[in-house]
Amino acid sequence: MKSGEKFSRKDFLKTVLLGSMILLFLQYCGKKGKLLLLKISGTNHILGHRLWAKNFPQVSEVIHKKYLIVGGGISGLSACRFLNQHNENDYLVLEMENHLGGNSSNGQNQFSKFPLGAHYLPLPNKENTEIIDFLKECGIYQGDDENGEPVLDEYQMTFPQQERLFFKNSWQNDIVPQKGISQATQKELERFFTMMDDFRQKKDQQGNYWFAIPVHDSSKEDEVIRLEKVLFKDWLGQNNFKSEELLWLLDYSCRDDYGLGIDYVSAWAGIHYFAGRKNNWSKLYKDQVFTWPEGNARLATYLSKYTEGKQLKEHLVFDIKANEKVEVLCFDNAKNKTKKIIAEKVLLATPQFINERILSHRKTFSFQYVPWLLTTITLKNEFGGDEELAWDNVIYGSAGLGYIYDQHQNINQITGEKVITYYRSFSTSDCRKARKKLFSMKENELKVLVLDDLKKAHPLIEDFILEMQFHKIGHAMIAPIPDQIFGNRTKEAKEPVDGKIFFAHSDLSGISIFEEAFYQGIKTAKQML
């Protein structure tokens, strides 16, 4: 408007209205800006990929140790605990990441801790005394009552509501589909779970369970091994299991524990998911699990006390040679220098695809590792409305595995924001291709991928989102495909080199769960001693 020009009431009201609209628009944009706060984190694959180039500086420091543990995940930490308990304290742990724990790691924001990998531990079988001893050491298991029932810290276990399933447009308790299923489906569900109960108790003539934890204790009878040579999907077809709801449940279960679904895992692995856990330690708590806002990072923290003053983080091992002693070259990423560590014995608590790169004559085993995406979402407190969030929230037919409510065990009233973590494995015949695709995806692509899944149950979830953090794990877990667990490749991969280099990792069990990683560390530390 030119200076001195008349300004009518109509123009004034129009300007005020327009100004109000602009202000509302700017406020809306500000809110939307918060909604679209996106971040990506992940394992340090950039440093890890330097193993291919090996363009490291010359050695500038030499360290002497009796024992060297490479890898600060659960297997490596478990080995440290065993050494310490057997009065061996001359050891050192090297870890590529800037933290210990491996897949049992966590993040934290102003509202909650949250897992960046494994997030719970089922109650152990009574036969697994080493895990039970560890739980006692942590104060989680507090002894037995007068009836011999274990006394457990209930604050470290799932509270009600433990799990729910979004099925046929509404939430139901439990993740077994129930609402409106056919009589034929109900009969199949009953028949399947009856078979699993039989498998759970089944033993061979030597008294070994067909399906045990650790898997090393399972029966090696021919009839059992044959189950590991066929696909779970084929075994289900041979036993006339065909209902959509049952097959979905089994596929979800396998993706949840193994990363791959029924089309890819062995029948042995599929059955083990249901039959490996005996539910025989506690009658009172048998359907619950131990869990924490930070997931299994809580357990990694307990184990990490055995590495105090004995750990070097951001150290990438890139070459190992066994002579009279073992010479290990590692790159200190923080100080940009190379160190040589000379040890009597070395334990590689690292996956086999890494070992193949750092041992020049190591055979290539071509194990398959499944990529995973975790997405931690901070939401306005109003999210969920009248519906109580369960600890585990699963969506029927979803490509993902649902989400966990990270503040589930908070005994105080949640008046701030809510934090959930969404899990997704990439169940495919080509894990390498899926891994490349995952790492190529940017923030907005990941946002669409995740929200398209969650909107099946929560159409308006985007209105509540304040922040999304995407965490990529390229080689999250070993895939228990046929012949992986009991096959010759795995047997060869377990063999020590010259009695000086030893191997401990959950990929040598063929199943990536806490108990297997914990067992691998103990077993291999025993071998070293």
Q: What angle do helix axes 514-528 and 74-85 make, rounded to 10 degrees?
A: 40
341 against 50, higher pLDDT:
341
**Rounded to the nearest 5 degrees, what angle is found at the Cα of 412, between the Cα atoms of 407 and 416?**
65
Q: Is the pLDDT of residue 310 over 80?
A: yes
- 181 band by pLDDT with thresholds 50, 70 and 90: very high
Evaluate whether 145 touches 154 at the Cβ level (below 8 Å): no
Give all strands (DSSP E) within 266-425, no chain letters: 289-291, 311-313, 315-322, 326-332, 337-348, 369-379, 392-395, 403-405, 418-425
Measure the CA–CA gap between 480 and 5, rounded to whole angstroms. 80
Q: Is the pLDDT of residue 299 over 50?
A: yes
Region of poorest pLDDT, from 7-11, 30-34, 332-336? 7-11
Please write the tens of the pLDDT for every residue from 141-167: 999 999 999 999 999 999 999 999 999
Measure the CA–CA gap between 393 and 164, rounded to whole angstroms. 5
- 384 band by pLDDT with thresholds 50, 70 and 90: confident
**pLDDT averaged over the chain?**
91
Q: Is the pLDDT of residue 267 over 80?
A: yes
Task: Give the residue-averaged pLDDT of 346-359.
Answer: 95
Question: Which letter, b or e, does each residue of 494-524 get, where b requires 16 or more Cβ atoms within 10 Å of its Cβ?
Answer: bebbeebbbbbbbbbbbbbbbbbbbbbbbbb
Residue 37 is encoded by which pair of tokens? Answer: 């706060």
> What per-residue confidence (pLDDT) applies to 390?
96
Measure the CA–CA gap between 111 and 405, rounded to whole angstroms. 12
- 241 band by pLDDT with thresholds 50, 70 and 90: very high
- 386 band by pLDDT with thresholds 50, 70 and 90: low
> What per-residue confidence (pLDDT) applies to 414?
67
Q: Is the pLDDT of residue 288 over 60?
A: yes
Residue 394 is encoded by which pair of tokens? Answer: 């699963």
Please write the tens of the pLDDT for every residue from 15-54: 333 343 333 333 434 444 444 578 788 777 777 777 777 8
> What per-residue confidence (pLDDT) applies to 230?
98
Task: Give the residue-averaged pLDDT of 313-335.
Answer: 95
Q: Is the pLDDT of residue 439 over 90?
A: yes
159 CB-side CA count, 13 A? 14
> What per-residue confidence (pLDDT) applies to 21?
38
Evaluate whether 249 touches 395 at the Cβ level (below 8 Å): no
Q: Is the pLDDT of residue 8 over 90?
A: no
The pTM is what? 0.90
Q: Is the pLDDT of residue 13 over 80?
A: no
Q: Is the pLDDT of residue 1 over 90?
A: no
Please write the tens of the pLDDT for every residue from 358-383: 998 888 999 999 999 999 999 999 99
Measure the CA–CA gap between 13 and 9, rounded to whole angstroms. 6
- Other beta carbons within 10 Å of 42: 16
> What per-residue confidence (pLDDT) applies to 22?
38
Q: Is the pLDDT of residue 470 over 50?
A: yes
